[in-house]
Amino acid sequence: MVTVSLRFDEAMKRALDQMCDEMGMNLTTFFMIYARAALRERRIPFEIRAEKDPFYSEENVKAILQSSEQVKQGRVVSKSMDELLEMEK
């Protein structure tokens, strides 16, 4: 047997200890179950994903494509920074 050390946020450790206790196990048993499942299934035994970047939302992609088409058709207005600042007055 070997010893593995992990660092946890204190609140997360307390919550995980409590959950494990409610299931009748300790953290060692919890991690052993996790490790065995990962080895048996040859994958992380749960889905890992990140929130989608809102830039790539369906609505934003549609607006970008629409703007691109307007540029291709020459339907754009070009202003310098000085002209834009002058418009503010």
pLDDT digits (tens, 9 = 90+) for 19-49: 999 999 999 999 999 999 999 999 998 887 7
d(CA 35, CA 44): 9
> Could you give the percent of the chain with pLDDT greater than 90?
73
Give pLDDT, residue 51. Answer: 79
DSSP track, the chain: ---------HHHHHHHHHHHHHTT--HHHHHHHHHHHHHHHTS-SS----PPPGGG-HHHHHHHHHHHHHHHTT------HHHHHHHH-
Give pLDDT, residue 22. Answer: 95
d(CA 29, CA 36): 10
Predicted TM-score (pTM) of this structure:
0.53
> Could you give the percent of the chain with pLDDT greater than 70?
100
Nearest to 35 by CA among 72, 74, 6, 73: 6
